[in-house]
Amino acid sequence: MSSSVPADLGQSTAAADISSREAKYLPPSDLADKYKKGIQRPTVISPHPTATQSGSTRIKKIEDFYVRPRWLFVRIETEGGVVGWGEATLEGHTEAVQGSLKDIARRIVGWDAMDIEDIYTYLYRHRFYRGGEVLMSAISGIDIALWDIKGKTLGVPVWQLLGGKCRERCDVYGWIGGDRPSDVLEQAKARKAQGFTRVKMNATESIGWLDSPHALDETVARLAQVKSIGIDAGLDFHGRVHKGLAKQLAKLLEPHRPLFIEEPLLPGHPNELKDLYNKTSIPIALGERLFTRQDVRPYFELGCIDIIQPDIAHAGGISETKKIAIMAETYDIGVAPHCPLGPLAFAASLHVGFSTPNFVVCEMSWKMHYNTGGFDLFTYMKNPEVFKVNKGAIDLLTAPGLGIELDEDLIRAEAAEAAKLEPWTNPVFRGDDGVVREW
């Protein structure tokens, strides 16, 4: 038959086979069956006894407590006796945030704690100078405590106030290595035994603006080691790597498929980040040093990141973090809260995660390298079991408010001791010639 004449379909065995097949539809998956009526995890609603008393939700007192290893807790008490806890930790800037909290307390004692949006708006807008890590961290501590109060007053978990749950657990990752990463394989094995399926580690040690390309070899080797045991790993560049080396390192890492690379360039370089974004297939994450929707906007509009990482203790608390998350969904950007901090920031981040469709994973500080001196994520908690890691995730928090119980006596005692000490400060990196490098 001439090649220019189309073959009769009836004479084609392949065509006959295709035409004779019947459409086959796979049965619903187990998950489709499980969730066909939504997420069936009802919670008991038990309002606080003072909830119906007029004036009971007015703010009576605001206190802050600096506790080791490096956390700043905020306590707000209402006239009705409801206590809410928040976290205003800003690593290395504790006293500056405490000064801001003192000013805030003077302004909002007597306000209705239930009016979270009004208080947030007043604190952010009304003092003319706005934004920045110090003020936003202070606002964060206040905001988280107010959401805790509201949940406890109404008898519901915070996620219920954010639109309800859209998942029944939040994926988390733990840290391996340290500021100068080493021994990552054994630490990754330990994390896997603890129930984690994902980890994060620093990509490099101290590194020069234009260092030897061989300075990157160990980074690639460490990632390959960790991946060899069947666990995923994100790499935190920490803003240490400047663009000349960042594009080389991203290319070297690409065959090993890291979960993401974090802060491959310093914040403030959205156009340069876009250039790097166009050169790699690795998901790019950043956001711990961005504090408002205005700060993240240029990164969203340029399309230069895949994951936004707001830190709920720096980015205006639950109120602003939730708004950033909603904004991110419009740009098909996932949300992975940054949280190398204490239990209050972690719980607050999880509540945003439980109620946010584009949430992807949350950082967890349990047993990380900054938690020294016997102080760790569970130290000040009475119910640490709510943070149990199972198959790489934390189960839904169901108690009213943030859902964690703190040992207030221990916090007060530790704060008294910590007040005698210098607050935590970050390490300083210098090159061989003495020049300051990025930490």
Exposed, middle or buried, 70 (CB in 10 Å: 0-12/13-18/19+)?
buried
Catalytic residue of the set 48, 93, 238, 242: 238
Rg (CA), the chain: 25
List, in order, residues 6 or more apart from 160 with CB less than 8 Å away: 43, 151
Cβ–Cβ under 8 Å, residues 267 and 290: yes
Please give the Cα distance from 330 to 337 (Å, whole number): 17
351 is catalytic: no
Q: Give the number of other Cβ atoms within 10 Å of residue 302's Cβ.
A: 14
Residue with tokens 């990380």: 368
Cβ–Cβ under 8 Å, residues 216 and 245: yes
338 is catalytic: yes
Per-residue tokens: 254: 């690409």
**Residue 167 half-sphere exposure toward CB, CA atoms < 13 A:** 18
Catalytic residue of the set 48, 93, 338, 351: 338
Please give the Cα distance from 205 to 215 (Å, whole number): 9
Residues belonging to the active site: 238, 338
